A and B are shown apart, each in its own frame.
Chain A
Amino acid sequence: MDGLLPVITLLMATATLIAALTLVAVKLAHRIILVGRGVRSAIYIAALGEMIATKLLPSHMPRQWARDRLFHQAIIDYRRLLSGEDGEFVDELIKRSKVLPSLRRCIQPPWLNAIRLRAIGSYVELASQQEIPHLRSLLTDRNEFVRFHAAHGLGRLGDVASVPLILDLCVRVRAWEVAKLADSLPLFGREAVYPICRWIDLAWQSPNSTEQAVAEAARTLGLIGDLDAEMTLLELLESDRREWRIAAASALGRIGSDSSRFALLRALRNESWEVRARSVRALAYLADGSVAPIVSGLLSDSQWWVRQNAAETLGELPGGVVELTKALESEDHFAADAARNQLAELRLLPAGVSPRLSVETQ
C-alpha cells in the first residue's frame, strides 16, 4: 500500500494534467475552427455571388471546395433563393464544381457516420433527377439517418415510384424512424395519392403491416388533401384499429366532401374518445355551420379533450358562437365550463356572466 499510493497519485496527477491541457487545447482549437469557418463561409458566399451576378462560369473550381460543407451550404442557400435563369446558372455551377460526385463518395459506408450524414444532408438538397437511382439505393442503407434523408431527397425530386418503397420501409423500422419517413411523404404531392392508397389497400390484407405505418400513410393523405383519397380514408374510419380511425378522422376533415362530413358526423358516436376528439376537430375544417348544433352536443361528452375540441370547433364554425352562448345556460356544468372557456378565449363572453371559477374535480 505504502509503495502503491505514490504511484497511483502520480498517475492521477499526470492524467489530470493531460486532461487540463487537452481542455485548454480543445477550447482554443474550437475557437480557431469557428473563426476559420466564418472566413470560409464569407469567401464562398462572395465568390458564388460574383459568379452568379456576372454569369461567368470559371474554367475550374478548387477541388477542395467540393469537399467543404460550408461551400455546400452556400450553394444550397443560393439554390433555394434563386429561380429562373439564375437558378439554372446555379445548377450549372453545381455540375461544374463536381460537388455531387464528391458527396456521393462521402456517403459510402467506409466513411465515418458523422461524415456520411453531413454529406447526405447536402446531397439531398443538391441532387438532380439523375441522382434518383442512387437515392433509392440509399433507402436500404444500414444507417437510419441516411435512409430518412434519402426519403426526403426523393420527395423533393418528386419520384413517386419510390413512395411504396418508403412505406414498405415504414413497416420494418422503429417508431421514431416511421415518423421521420412519413414526414417526407407530403413532399411528393398529389401524384403520391394513388400509390399511397394502393399501398394501404395491400397493407390491409398483409399480416406484416404495422398500425403506425398505415396511420402515417392516412395522415399523409390528409395533408395532401386530395378527393381521390376519400374512399380509402372512409374505409379506414370504419376499420377495427383505433390508430387508423384516429388518423382517418383527422385526414377526412381536410378533404371536405359531403361523404366526409357524413362519415365524421357518424364518427362522433365512436366508442373511442380519441376518434370522437379528432372527428369533432376535423369538422372545423369543413366550415359548415349546419353541423354546429350536433357539435354542441359533444360539449357534454365524458372526456375533457372531446369537450375542449368541440368548444374549439364551435369557436371556428359559422353560428358556433351562438351554440356556445346557449351552452352557458346548460345544466351540465362541464358543458357550461367548456363553453365559458372558449368564449373567454375568443373575448366573446357576454356581459353579466358570472366570473365563477369552476372547482369541480373530474
Chain B
Amino acid sequence: MIHRIIAVASVGVLGYFVLMQLYLLTLALISAFALDKERMLERFGRIDDMLVSDVSPPVSIVLPAYNEEVGVVESVRSVAMISYPRFEIVVVNDGSNDGTLQKLIDTFNLVPVPLPFRANIPTAQVGQVYHSTRPVSITVVDKLNGGRADALNAGINVARFPYVMLTDADVLIDGKALVNAMRHVVEDRDRTVAVGGNIRPLNGCVVKFGHIVEANVPESFIERWQLLEYVRSFVAARPAWASFNGLPLVSGAFGIYLREAVVNVGGLTSGHMGEDMDLTMRIHRYYRSRGEPYRMVYAPSALVWTEVPSTRQVLRRQRIRWHRGLMTAAHDFRSSFFNPHHGAVGMISWPTMVLFEYLAPIIEMAGYLIVPIAIILGAVAWENALLMLALAFLAGAFTSLIALLLDERYGYFNRPLAALRLVLIVFVENFGLRQQTVWWRVRALIGGGSTHGWGDMQRRGVANLGKAS
C-alpha cells in the first residue's frame, strides 16, 4: 500500500512539473507574439513623435530612498535625463540614517519650500519638502521612517501629475523607457490604469553619467542566475499575461499608474512584503467589482536596470521576503482564485501564480524527499527516477533557453563569451542553487528567516556595479 502511495506521489510530482513546464512554454509562445507586435510598434510606430507632442500626459516619477547615499545621486541623474516632454521627480527620503538627504541637497541645490499637498493617502509624518528646478523639477520629501510603501504613498500625495511612476532609488532608467511605456497610455487613455516595465540586473554593466554604456552578463554566478530569472519572468511570461489583461504583478521597480487609481484603492499597503503585487491585485479587484473598463499593460521595451543581490545572504533575505509577500497576497486575494467575475486574472493568471509560484517550492521539496524514499523502498526503479529528474531539469532548461532566445530581439549580451555563460547557467542552476532557493522559499512558508522592510540590500552604487567587488 505504502509502495503504491509513494509511487503515485512520485508520478504526481512529475505530472506537476510537466504541467508547469507546459504552462510556461505556452506563456513563452504567447509572449513571442506579443513581443513581435510590440517590436513592430516600437520600430515603425513613430513613437518619437510623442516627444514633441504637447498632449503627451505628464508624469510624476516617485523614488523612495532609504540609506541610498551611495547611488541616489546617480539614480536621480539618470531619471533627469529621460526623454519625455513633461515630468517631475519626487524623491522621498524615508528617514535615512546616512547622508542621503544631504547628498541630494548639495548636488541639486535644493531649497526648503512650503509646498502644499493633500494627504490623500495617510502616511508617517512628513517633515520638510525641498525643491529645485535644475536640471528638471525635483522635489525631495523628508519624512519619518515608515517603510517603502509608506514612502511611495507620501510621494504619490506630493505628485502633481495625473500619472505616477513608482520606482526605486537604486535603479537606472533607460532614456526611452518612459516614452515607450506612456505610448500605451496615449493609445488608450480612458482604459489604461497601469503600465509595467521590463527589469534587468544592473550588476556587471558599465555606467557613465547615469547611462549604461555597456551591458554585460554579470561575473558572479549568483548575479548571472538572477539575470536568467529576470529574463524568464519579464520576457517569457509577462507579455503573455498582459495580452489578456491578466497581469498579476506590476513590478515595484517600474510601474506607471493612474494616480487616481492608486488613491482610490488607498495607496500601497504599509508593511506588506509584496506591496507591488498587492497594489496590482487591488486595482484589478477595484475595477472588476465596479464593472468599469480598464487595462493594465506591460511595456517590454520600457527598460529599467536594477542592482540585484550579489551575496547569498542578501539573496536569501530577498527571496524569503518575496515569497512571504506572495503568501500574504495568496491569502488576501483568495476570492480571486478561479473567480469568473475577475476575468483573466481570476481564471488564469492568479490561479497559476498560486499553483506554480506559491506552491512550487512545497511540491519540489516533496519531490526531493519522496523520490529517494520511493527508490529505497523499490516503489520506483532508480533508472526511472533518474530519467524523471532529468526530464524535469531538461524541460526547465528548454523553457529558459526559449526565454533567452526571445530576449535576443533586444540585442543585449551578444558577445561570444556572454552567450556561452548564459547557456552554462541554464544547466548549472539545477545543481545546487535551485535547491537552495526552494529551501529558502519553504522557510518563508514555515516562518523562518528574518527580513527587514527595506530588504537590507547592501548597495554598491549604480556607478560601481561594473567594477569587481
- A219 proximity list for chain B (CB < 8 A): 55
Within 8 A of B (CB), among A81-119: 113-114, 117-118
Task: Name the residue among A8, A19, A24, A341 with the largest chain B CB count within 10 angstroms.
Answer: A19
Name A22's closest neighbour in chain B (CB-CB).
B405
- Say yes or no: B401 contacts A145, CB within 8 Å: no
Determine how close the nearest CB of chain A comes to the CB of B41; give it in whole angstroms.
8
Stretch at the interface among A48-56, A127-135, A189-197, A348-356: A348-356
* Other-chain residue from A22, A30, A145, A305 in contact with B44 (beta carbon distance below 8 A): A145
A176 within 8 A of B: yes
Task: Mark each residue of chain A from 1 to 34: 1 if its CB lies under 8 Å from any CB of chain B, else 0.
Answer: 0100110110011011001101110111011001
- Say yes or no: A20 contacts B394, CB within 8 Å: no
Q: 10 A-B residue contacts at CB 8 Å?
A: A2-B381, A5-B391, A9-B390, A16-B394, A20-B401, A27-B415, A27-B416, A34-B414, A117-B44, A357-B126
A361 within 8 A of B: yes
- Say yes or no: B401 contacts A361, CB within 8 Å: no
* Other-chain residue from A20, A114, A338 in contact with B426 (beta carbon distance below 8 A): A20
- Say yes or no: A183 contacts B187, CB within 8 Å: no
Q: How far is the CA of A9 from the CA of B55 in the complex (A)?
A: 56
- B377 proximity list for chain A (CB < 8 A): none
Q: How far is the CA of A20 from the CA of B426 in the complex (A)?
A: 9
Name A304's closest neighbour in chain B (CB-CB).
B118
- Say yes or no: A23 contacts B423, CB within 8 Å: yes
A362 within 8 A of B: yes
Determine how close the nearest CB of chain B comes to the CB of A176; give it in whole angstroms.
4
Determine how close the nearest CB of chain A comes to the CB of B134; give it in whole angstroms.
12
- Say yes or no: B401 contacts A340, CB within 8 Å: no
Within 8 A of A (CB), among B391-411: 391, 394-395, 397-398, 401-402, 404-405, 408, 411
Q: How far is the CA of A5 from the CA of B395 in the complex (A)?
A: 13
- B408 proximity list for chain A (CB < 8 A): 23, 26-27, 30
Determine how close the nearest CB of chain B comes to the CB of A303; give it in whole angstroms.
12
- B422 proximity list for chain A (CB < 8 A): 23
- B126 proximity list for chain A (CB < 8 A): 357
- B186 proximity list for chain A (CB < 8 A): 176, 179
- B188 proximity list for chain A (CB < 8 A): 175-176
- Say yes or no: A308 contacts B160, CB within 8 Å: yes
- Say yes or no: A23 contacts B404, CB within 8 Å: yes
Task: Name the residue among A5, A24, A34, A353 with the largest chain B CB count within 10 angstroms.
Answer: A5
B289 within 8 A of A: no
- A16 proximity list for chain B (CB < 8 A): 394, 397-398, 401
Interface size on B, residues (CB 8 A): 51
- A362 proximity list for chain B (CB < 8 A): 118, 120
- B416 proximity list for chain A (CB < 8 A): 24, 27-28, 31
- Say yes or no: B114 contacts A340, CB within 8 Å: yes
- A354 proximity list for chain B (CB < 8 A): 114
Name A27's closest neighbour in chain B (CB-CB).
B419
A359 within 8 A of B: yes
- B116 proximity list for chain A (CB < 8 A): 337-338, 340-341, 344, 356-358
B384 within 8 A of A: yes
B378 within 8 A of A: no
Determine how close the nearest CB of chain B comes to the CB of A222; give it in whole angstroms.
9
Determine how close the nearest CB of chain A comes to the CB of B197; give it in whole angstroms.
20
B40 within 8 A of A: yes
* Other-chain residue from B44, B115, B162, B404 in contact with A357 (beta carbon distance below 8 A): B115
A258 within 8 A of B: no
Determine how close the nearest CB of chain A comes to the CB of B401; give it in whole angstroms.
4
- A121 proximity list for chain B (CB < 8 A): 44
- Say yes or no: A9 contacts B401, CB within 8 Å: no
A180 within 8 A of B: yes
- Assuming the A-B contacts A12-B394, A19-B402, A362-B120, are A344 and B114 also in contact, with contact meaning beta carbons closer than 8 angstroms in the complex? yes
Determine how close the nearest CB of chain A comes to the CB of B112; give it in whole angstroms.
8
Name A342's closest neighbour in chain B (CB-CB).
B116
- A356 proximity list for chain B (CB < 8 A): 114, 116
Q: How far is the CA of A149 from the CA of B117 in the complex (A)?
A: 44
Name A254's closest neighbour in chain B (CB-CB).
B54
Q: How far is the CA of A6 from the CA of B395 in the complex (A)?
A: 14
- A188 proximity list for chain B (CB < 8 A): none
Within 8 A of A (CB), among B77-134: 112-120, 126, 129, 131
Name A216's closest neighbour in chain B (CB-CB).
B55
Name B418's closest neighbour in chain A (CB-CB).
A27
B46 within 8 A of A: yes
A123 within 8 A of B: no
A148 within 8 A of B: yes
- Say yes or no: B117 contacts A27, CB within 8 Å: no
A271 within 8 A of B: no
Determine how close the nearest CB of chain B comes to the CB of A139; give it in whole angstroms.
16
- Assuming the A-B contacts A16-B401, A349-B114, A362-B120, are A149 and B44 also in contact, with contact meaning beta carbons closer than 8 angstroms in the complex? yes
- B381 proximity list for chain A (CB < 8 A): 2
Name B416's closest neighbour in chain A (CB-CB).
A28
- Say yes or no: A24 contacts B423, CB within 8 Å: yes
Q: How far is the CA of A176 from the CA of B414 in the complex (A)?
A: 34
B12 within 8 A of A: no
Task: Name the residue among B44, B118, B387, B423 with the largest chain A CB count within 10 angstroms.
Answer: B44
A360 within 8 A of B: yes
A261 within 8 A of B: no
Name B18's closest neighbour in chain A (CB-CB).
A8
- B120 proximity list for chain A (CB < 8 A): 361-362
A152 within 8 A of B: yes
- Assuming the A-B contacts A2-B384, A353-B114, are A179 and B187 also in contact, with contact meaning beta carbons closer than 8 angstroms in the complex? yes
Name B47's closest neighbour in chain A (CB-CB).
A180
Determine how close the nearest CB of chain B comes to the CB of A106; give it in whole angstroms.
14
Q: Which 7 pairs across A and B sit closest by C-beta, in order of nearness? A: A355-B114, A27-B419, A176-B187, A19-B401, A337-B116, A117-B44, A12-B394
- B418 proximity list for chain A (CB < 8 A): 27
- Say yes or no: A20 contacts B118, CB within 8 Å: no
